[in-house]
Structures are given as structure tokens and as C-alpha cells.
Structure 1
Amino acid sequence: MALRDNDPRVIGGYVLLDRLGAGGMGTVFLATAESGRPVALKVVHEQFAADTEFRTRFRQEVRAARRVSGAFTAPVVDADPDAERPWMATTYVPGETLRARVEARGPLSGAELRLLAVGLVEALRDMHQVRVVHRDLKPDNVLLTEDGPRVIDFGISRAADHQTMTMTGHILGTPPFMSPEQLSAPHRVTAASDVFSLGAVLVYATTGRGPFDAGSPYMTAYNVVHEPAEVAELSGTVREIVQWCLAKEPVERPGPEDLLSAFREAPEEEWGARRPLRPAGTTPPAPTEVPKARRRTRRRPALVVLATAVALLAGTGAYAWWPDGGDARPSVTPSTPRAGRVPDASVLAADTPYSPVYGGDPGTTHAYADSPARRPKDWHAWTEDSSGAQCVFADASLVCAESSAEDADERLVRIDAATGREIWDVPVALVEDFPPAVVGRTVAVSTPDGLRAFELIDGRKLWRQSSKAAIGRVTAAAGRFYGATSDGTVVAVAASTGKELWRRKGLVSGYAYPRVRVSGGLVHVPAVSDGGTGAKRIAGLRAADGSTAVTTELTQPCEASELTVLPARSEHEGVSFFCRAATGDGLLLQPSDTDRDHLALRSPYVATATFSDGALYAVITAGRPDYSFAEIDYDHGIAGPLWQLPLGLACGPGSPPPVVTGRRAYVVCGSGGVVVDLARHAVATRFALPAAVPEDSSEGAEILVAGGIVYVRTERGWSSVDAYAAPV
């Protein structure tokens, strides 16, 4: 762009040649030094130059930018923050911005997209190593050059060891690419904020729009803070990594080294937009009914299952087939996909893609977007006749592991969430009552000699991971499956290939299949050493290699089969562990920080409990049938209800815990349920079930909530119920 009449011609001895662009804080010019060296010279706008607070910030910016010099940034060569109009000059790098590239030629894919992602992570690593936070990473501040991407314009960056400053009346950032903490608590901004922005930039590079775009900056900012990211168009493992970056809580996001490791494992064919399952405009054939015999299944002893709402990441992937030879069972060919429609995110009723809700304990699959307006299209109530199946919700369907003690009829089955009809089923040897786990389009299930993986869309076999022992209680996080064997060995497996990444022995002795949870880049394992069921400490293993990063001693033993990891509530706190006490009565909340008090909840007064978004919700009783729902104040080791209301339900100790998603809590007891409005502290609606809920809580989830529809395991089988059919 040519210089304007009112533009200066010389600044600080640099001759201005052209305009490169303008932003909210200043104008960037192409200039030359006396030696002829080209530079990009940024001059702040006049209205800011007289602002003392802004000048202080600009001085911080210059100091911060001088500390950054890497292959993926534009180093500072000169600056004068005290000039009449403060300015800063950086190395001029020819290239076009990411936004210009996408607008001119469309989204990126393949090697070009991978290079962008890795280059941006390298740039963030260089900045964060010298304690600089960019705070305005966006497509306009990413240059695509012959040497790879460059991060430019440290316009509102700050050195982490300088005082944080905000400007009255100004938003320091670009809402579509800002982190939640930038909008709600700017003083809490850390390097994790740049990681969130990185995730948003990668969504834009892949799809041409941001993950929180709305009709106005205000609504976009609201979506950043409160709504899940829209990433349905991303593919496979890359989608999962991006969702990891876009976690609402800063402590849940990966660091640069975690990202580089994850990006290396993502196959090149998964870099790009997700391919549609069927050509646009086609109509799927009408579904057909699939008759099934009633199956009776094994039951487990009653346990208080501690549930929390979390995202199950869906996408596409690339996989390796396993050979038929060497399998203890004959090779199994899955049934041909039924004539019924194959659901995916596109069949869910909403103007925007259906996205899962983050919150609570990573590795569970209980709750998805809550609005009743987002129910699956063509939904109707149904009951699937297999009362013991262990199910998870994935891509508008339930994926269930079914077993029968009578005829050894064991299988993995996918059920249409809208109609209850089978999409496919495949025979497979199962272990215990462990539910499957899903990463993208890969479904993993525990078998007697390791893990088996199947394609979510049509049930095809993908790979076999042979451990010569079952891997139980499998959980999924960041493109990997994690679980433990019958001797307590913890195993990490790549979801895309089935390759064993690492295994760790010696943490558990005499206890089979301890619960493994993943949070904050660590794999948390309850360590049992006496052959009992109680873990006296929690070992935090590094997700990269399984080495021990931290160990937390517990104030009382924790039941090793039940562990919830709660994200830190601030950057000054660590995670917390929530479990059923292994001895005596009650539930245990144990912070990983030794200077914070633990909390023991006595079970005669707490039937079941759930954590979500830093809050503790419980079904409580004082020995009376009219149980209540309450939010519990658990600060400083003191437990008490902040508020409570009667449920009008008779909930037993084996009833499922509440499922919390958005600002609603779903409670099921006996043959009925209640939806609690957490904002108004009132009952929003009541609903009836086609049969009673079993009192013997099992290994997997008892309730799944998606689009306002409740999927619940009853004595007749899994049922789909509209919780809002008869609102109160």
C-alpha cells in the first residue's frame, strides 16, 4: 500500500517506503536503514502516544520483543519507546499473512498445514523460554514465508516477570483468537493463553473460520468463555490435539514440547478438513429394523461411580490393519453396514456443528452440548434390549461393549442415537465389563490379550495391540489410549497405529486394573502396594515417556478403581483427586498441594457426587427418602451446602451420580429423573424412564446426556428419553 499524504517520510533515521498494514494499536511501514537494510517499522497511533499507561506498556513490549530471536519470529533491530510517536523496527520478512493466504486460496492442508503448526509451536517455545507471552496470536500476525511461518507483531505481548497492565476501555487482543482468561481475568494470562490462541489459529487455517465465530464481537467473546469450540470439520488426531489446546482451563492445555510430540505422531493425511461421510445433497436410505435376542449380562458389585462431564473427541483418522495370524480367536469380519443411516455430526439439529462440552475428569464420556434444541434429527424414544452393555457416546451414536455370561455372546456394537437401531456389530472377546474408548474414528476395547481397535464408521478392524494381558479401564486423551493390566502395569498406546509408546511397572502390587486418569499432561495412577484396594498415594507420570513427575501422599487410602482428577482452579493451585475412601465411609477430596486441606464427605449424608467446572454437586440424604440436590462448599476442608433443593426421588447408594453439563444437572433414581437448573437453583423438568435404573452401579457410565436427550441404562436396556417432554 502506498504512503498517504499525512504519513511521515522518515522515522528514527529510517526512510519509509510503503505501508504494510495497520492494526488497532499502530501502523506498520516498510522502511530502509541507512545501509539499505529493509525493516518493518511499527508506529503507534497518535491517540495512544499521549497515553502514559500505553507508553509504559509499549516499553514493556519493546523489552519483551528484544528477548525473542528465533527462526520462527521477526527479531527486533531498533526501537524508541520515548519518541513523540513511539516506534519499533523488526527484521523485514517477505511473505503474506495467514489470513491473506486463506482468503485468496482457501484453507491449508497436508504438509503445508503441518509446517504451519510446527512452526507456530517452535515460535511459542522460543518466546516462552524467555518468559514472553505474545497475547495476540492470530492469522494477521502469522507470516507465511519461504523459510516457514513467522510470528510477528508483539503488539500486546508482555514479559511474564513484568507487571501486568490493562488499558481502561480497550480490549488487549482479538476476541476470535483470545483465551477465556484474557476476556474474564486478564491478570491471570500465562503462556497457556498463547496455546489456546494457537488452537484457534489452526482451526482457522484448516477451515477458513475461527472456532468461536459469531455474529458480533460480543457474542464471539461470549462463545470463547462459555461455549465449546466448533471443530467438527477438523480431521482425526489433529482435531484432538487442537481441542486439547482449546481447553477452557489453562492448566489443561499442553505445553510446546507436548504439542511437538503430538504433531509428530499425527499422520499427514489427517492434516486438513474432515472428508464428508456422504456427498452433499444425497439422502441416506431408510433404516431397517435389526432384530436381536435379549441378552443377560454379568453384573458387578455395587460401587459409587464418581462421574464428571467431559468431551469425547470425534474426527477422522488413519490406521494400520492387524494381520489375521497370531490371534487367539479366528479372524472376525464385521457385519456389513446396515441400510440405516450412518450418523455423524451433520445430522444433529443445529445451525453450527455439534460440539462436546469440556469439564470435570478427562477420560469419561458423560455429557455433551446440553441445549434441547440440538437433539439428533429424527429422534424418537427407544430402548435397546441389552441391560448390561457398557456404552460411550461418539459422533451421534452409542458405542457399546456387550457380553453375556450364558452363551459367551460378546460383541462391540454401534447404535444410532436418534433411533436406537444398530449401525454395525462385530464379535470380539471382551474383558470384565469395561466400556470401550474412542479417539476420533478409532474405537478401542479391552480384550484378554491387549486392545483391539475398530473403525467407528463401519466397524472394520484397524489394529491389534498385543500385551499378552488385558488392558482394562481404558481412557483416551490427546491421540492416545491409556490403561492398566491385571498386574497394575500402566500402558500408553498410539490411537492411530496401535503402537505401544511406553509401559510402566511397579506402581501397583496385588491389584488388577487400577483407574488411570490423564490431566495437565500427566497420567495419574493410584499406587497400591499392599495387595488391597486402597491407594495411599497418586503417582503422576509424564505422558511423553511414563517417567514419574510427581507423587501425592493421600491422607487416607483411596479406592483404586475409582479416581477423578479435578483441574486446578487457578495457576497457583495444583490438581485435586476425588475418590471413594477405601476404608470406612465417605468420599475423599485430596489436593495435590500439601498446603491445602483435604475434605472427607461422610457417605450417610452423600449418596453420590459429581465435580464440574470447579464446583461439587451431590445428592444428599439424612436417612430420609426425600433426597436433596446440593452444591457443596468445599473450601478450606469444610463441607456444607451452598444451596439445596428437594428432588422428590428416592435415590439409593447405588444410584448413578448426577451428570452436569452447561448449567443443568441430570439426576436419575429409580424409574424417574429430574433436571436441575443450576443458575436458578430450581427443578427445570421431571421425566419418567421406561424401567428402573439398576442399583448395582457398574464399570461404565450409567447416564449419557447429549443435546438435551438422556441416554440411561435401565433394567430393560439402554433407553433414550426426552427429559424436556413435560417441563415443570
Structure 2
Amino acid sequence: MRELTGQDPRAVAGFRLLARLGEGGMGRVYLAVDRRGERVAVKIIHSEYATDDEFRRRFRRETRLAARVAGPGLARVVAADPDAESPWLATEYVPGLALSEAVGAYGALPVPACRQLAGQLVTSLEAVHAAGLVHRDLKPSNVILAADGARLIDFGIARSADESAITHTGQTPGTPGYIAPEVLVGKTADARADVFALGAVLAFAAQGRHPYGSGPAAVVMARPLTVDPDLSGITDTELRGAVQHCLARDPVHRPQLEEIGRVMDTGHTATGFWIPATVLDGIGRRAERAAALTVTGPARALAPHPPTALPASRPPTVTVPSHRPRSPVTSPPRPAPRREPRLPRAAATFTRRSALGVAALAAGAWVIGRVTGDDDPGPRPRTLWHHPMKGSVAAPVVAKGVVYTGSSESGITALDARSGRRVWHVPLRAGAAWLTYAEGTLYFSDAAGPGSDDVPFHALDARTGRTRWTVSGPHPGHEGVVAHRDLVYLTHDDPVRALGSADGQVRWTYRHDPDYQSGISVTPYGNALYLCGKLGVDCLDAASGRRRWRTGIQMPKGAAVSGSALHIAGFGAVTVLDRKTGERRRSYEFEKDWPSDVVPSGRTLCVTDHHDVVGVDTETGRKPWRIDMRSFPDLSAAGGGLVAAGDGDRICLIETASGTVRWRLNHDEGVSAPVLTGSTVYVGTHDDGLLALDTARPAEPDN
């Protein structure tokens, strides 16, 4: 990890870059944070490749393939834009050391660690192959050693197992010394080529040197065709035999991955650590440095670019769309004003984020425009009342005629929803960035950063503001808590935990997938919970946590209920399920981008698709309107054919039947996500307090 230089960009499509992680032939990789403060690894392609149409075609395709892969031991793709001026790809950041770094700094791994590494990489490759892909570039620098296990990264030259090679004539995909012999002579790389590379990686880990030696790249590349690998440094007979088997010149003689897994011990060592303490110390120092960079970096981040699901084959668009991100390399970001981090954002009725009362930090900075992205600010809403508050005011929660909100400086306040009169106020030394409510109880955590190990989690009596109970634990983050009826669900990691509203004690836990550690989206409705995670959508009994059904949907992101239908926003489509059985009814395709939120409004589904809000007619499947928000929006709807959308600087109220923007509110200092209830939109601001806005169409100005 190295500091940024004057030649490095400071942001790309909403990700704030913190440091260099590495550089390869195609691009440079950076440590970055998104608007929530979550760390990611962003790979920006070198400029010489960005002008190559053939490279763009391959990168677009490879990005789509990489987004298909999900499984244990894999760093998932979180965002990408292969059509940007400088194409880029963002993946989950793994706080660890590359195997090449660890061996270079601390020497070869002991036999027990090598055996466990083998088992972990087998599991990762099985997930890659199950997705119909071949990695094709397994090497020590693409294996990250973390405290909880190894991760396989970088699908830069991955390809579908049933497609022909996509490299230029005369090029060989891979790294010298790790390329299978059959690939060197021009044959197609299949899963057995990954097995060969696995053997070479294990030989390197066990010996501290490459099995085919060093020297000029052309010489090293040719050795697997004629020279036996040097395995003399592997002292364990069983491990050496497995590696030798993997490195067979004839792919027919190589073992299946499951055979390797059977002979490798994947359990923990007697000390409880899977790798030596010296390597763990190095991993800890790397993680501490990444955490320090995240905390000390600039406070404001731009709005993130969501993951992009690309069509299998589509000719390049000649006209650049208005929402196309500008290159972070050639277009430096706008200087951030000196103010606090952006405001927490909420979302819509019957979605997961409505249960939270607030979602992620916002930071969009462009003017909202209808379809064409025009800069006309349009009519402004009428303010019904205004309650002054200091600091950044969180998106409110509205329940039973009371509005609850918190701020970084003013604590938590309850206000009468009609008049704005204060009902009660609780000052907080640590502040509160988000709130959630259910059945007379208000929940929040102290304003500490996500990832903190010991943070108080509070339950207040919503009528009086008095504390009912407090428990401590890891910070759940502002998307990690969902309250429903007499339980509150902590969803920031697996397993999901249900706490009783009366005492904060754990009532039940549910494990969606033991290897999934990236948080689970939960939507409550009636006596059911709908969980969106890596394995698809699970329906649980909300009271007991027992699973009723599971439906496999590729990378689901959010859910919303409308009558008997469950709408799932996921990879490339919104899928409609029967909420009682999980059976598929239909789907609405989104070919270019990745729907991430969905809000029903009458016969219209309002969907966040990249930076846009899109209306979908549920009877015809048509998309009659699309509004360019110029930043990833949050939505809130409450019947009446209206949806409020916010992008961090602006709020617009949309008539869902026609896509007409009824009014817009611009706020230079930033606004929270809107909350629409009845005829009022509530929104928090920075240093201006809480606003209650009338949904009615503003009167026409006098001429």
C-alpha cells in the first residue's frame, strides 16, 4: 500500500481514493471508500487501453462475467463502468496481504497453513467454475491472505467456460510460470488450467519460490512445456504429491478439485490461527493502516456508481448518455466544501430502508432533470413548518403522528407531525446518525464508525424518550438494523439476530450462509421476513426465524411488497415473486444497469436504476418514463400516486403515473433522504434542521 501521487486521481465515480494497492499490466488498483465509508478496491484501466475498442469490448464482457461470481473466498464485484472514459471496476476490499507479499516478507508458509490454503482455494475455484467461468490468472499476487481465510481476486482475464478465447492473436492469457502447458500451445483454457495454476501457487507458498524458477518472462513461460517443476522444498509427502499431480503436463492426468479438497485439511490449527502469527501481525498492520486512512481522509465522498450489469451483446452507443460518468483520470472532482459528512438517507414504505428510517450517506452534486437532464430547477415546494437543529439532521421516522429525527449535534427530537411542535428531546453526547422505529420503541446506535467492536445499541420509549435498555456489540451501521413488531433484527452480518424489544436479549438467530459476511437486506411484512443475500431470497417466520422457502435470484439487492407480490431488485432485473410461496410470476429486464431499489405505487413500479428513477407499468411491462437524478437516489412512497426521490443535494416529487416532476427542492448544504407520508414530505438538512414540505402542486407564479 503506497500513498497517492500527483498523477493519481482523488475520486472515481463517487469512490474516494485513499492509497495505491498495486499495479498490473492493464491498470492500477486503489484502496477507496464509498459514501457509507465502506472500503473497496478500485481498478482503473490504463489510458492506452481505454482508447482500444477491442479492449473495451473485452473489458465490458469480463466485467459482466465477474459480477456473476459469488461464493466463499471470493472478493465480490460491487460496482463497475466499462463505458467510462477510463474504465474501472470496484470490488470488495479484503484487509490482508497478497500471498506474494506474505511469502516475500515472512518466508514460506508452514505445511498446515499450506494445506488449509489449498482447501480454501479449492472452495473458491469451485464457486468460479460453478458460475461457468475459468479464472485463468491464479497466481500468488491474486490470493489475499486475511485473518479469517484466503480470498481469490482479479477476474481481469476470466472467461466463460463455454465461450472461445477473447485475447488477441499471439497473446497468451496468464502469468509466466502459472500458465498451463496446453494454453501455451494455443489450446483453450478450461477448469483444468486453473488446477495447474493452483498447484503452482501451492508450490510457491510451501517453498517460498516459484516452481519453474525465475528469469526472463519468455524463458519462464516456456519451462512448463519441457521442464519438471522444482518441488524439492516441500517436505510433506502428501502435499508434494497433490501439487505434483496438479502440475501434470497433460490436463487429463490432473486431479479434480474435489479430489484435492478431500486430502487437504481445511480445519483450524491447534492455536486457532490458520496462518503463522507473524503473517497475522502483518495483516493487522495493513488493516490498521487502511482504517486510519478511512478515518483521516476527506469527510465528503461523491455519490457511488452502482454495479453495472451489461448486456451479453450490444453495439456500442454512438451518443453518450447524459448520465454517463466522467473520467476520474481526466476530469478532477469538484472541491468539497468545508462541512460535515453528508446526511443519512432514508427510503420508501414497505422496503427495507423504510424499516431502518435511514440508509447511507448521500453526496450527489448535480441538478435533477426530467428525462433529458435539463438544469431548470422547476417549481419549489411550500414549506409547512421548519424545526431548527444543529449539525447534519438524519432522515426522519414518522409514526402515529410524530416525527422522530436525530442530528450530529442536537441529539434525538420528537416533533408533532402536523405543527412541528416539540414533544420531547434527548441530548446525546455521541450523536445519532440514524433511527428506526417499531411498536412504540425507537432504536439507534451511538454515532461511532461501522466496524467498531463495542458500541452501545439503545432502545427508547417513543412516547417519552426514556431509555428502555442498552446492549453493546459491533456497530451495526445504519443499514444493519430493521425493527418490526416486538423484535429488532440486526442484519449487518451473518447470522441475522432477532432481539426482543422488551429487554434486548437474543430471541433467535438465522444463518443465511456461513461464508457470507457482507450484510443481508431484510424486508419485514406481516408475519414474514424477506432476506436478500448471496444465495437468493429467503422467507422466514418473523417470530421464530424458521425458513418457509428459498428462491434463487442472482445477487438480489432490495425487496418491496405490494399485495400478494414480492418485488426483488437484483442483477439486471426486477423479479416478481408470490410472497407466500416464492414462486416466480414475471420479471422486468434492465439490460444496462443494476436495479437496487423498488417501490410500488399503484400500477407503477418506481425503480432506482443506476442514477435514474424509472417507472415500470406493471400491466404492460413498459418503462414509460425515466428521470435522471445524476446520483444514486433514495425513494419514498406512501400511496396517492407520488414518490419522493433524493440524491443528497436535492429532492423531487414525482407523479408516478406520468413521470411528471411536481416540484424540486435544491439545498446546497445537503439534505437527507426524503420520507413521504400522507400529504407531507419530511427531510433533514445540514444546519437548517428538519423541513416539512407540502406535496401539493405549487401555485403558478404571477406574470
What TM-score do you get using the length of structure 2 for normalisation? 0.37
What TM-score do you get using the length of structure 1 for normalisation? 0.36
Which structure is higher in RCO with an 8 Å CA cutoff and minimum separation 6? Answer: 2
